[in-house]
Amino acid sequence: MRYCFRSRIVTLFCLAAALTSLPVLAARAQDVMDAKSAAFLRDRYLADLDSVHVKVMALAAAIPEDAYGWRPACDPFRRC
């Protein structure tokens, strides 16, 4: 019985130590970027955004205009 109690205390202590170290790790992950890294990140984000825009516009052009109003038929097991 005493061994079980000790193992629980050790487990709780380890859990408390792990939980108290998490904010330190999170703060370290939020370090400020330098200007060069921020510019690179911005350029990559804008390139990805342009890529998505081109793909969405190509998809919209490929779908006939009369198909935009299409809705699935009502299914008795699903709400429409």
How many domains is the chain built from? 2
Residue 46 belongs to a domain:
yes
Q: What is the pLDDT of residue 30?
A: 62
Structural domain boundaries, residue 27: 1-31
Residue 71 belongs to a domain:
no
Q: What is the pLDDT of residue 68?
A: 80
Residue 27 belongs to a domain:
yes
Residue 76 belongs to a domain:
no
Residue 77 belongs to a domain:
no
Contacting residues for 80 by C-beta, under 8 A, at least 6 apart = 71, 72, 74
Q: What 3-state DSSP class applies to 77?
A: coil
Per-residue pLDDT tens, the chain, 80 aa: give them: 455 666 777 777 666 766 666 666 555 656 677 899 899 999 999 999 999 999 999 998 998 888 888 877 777 776 65
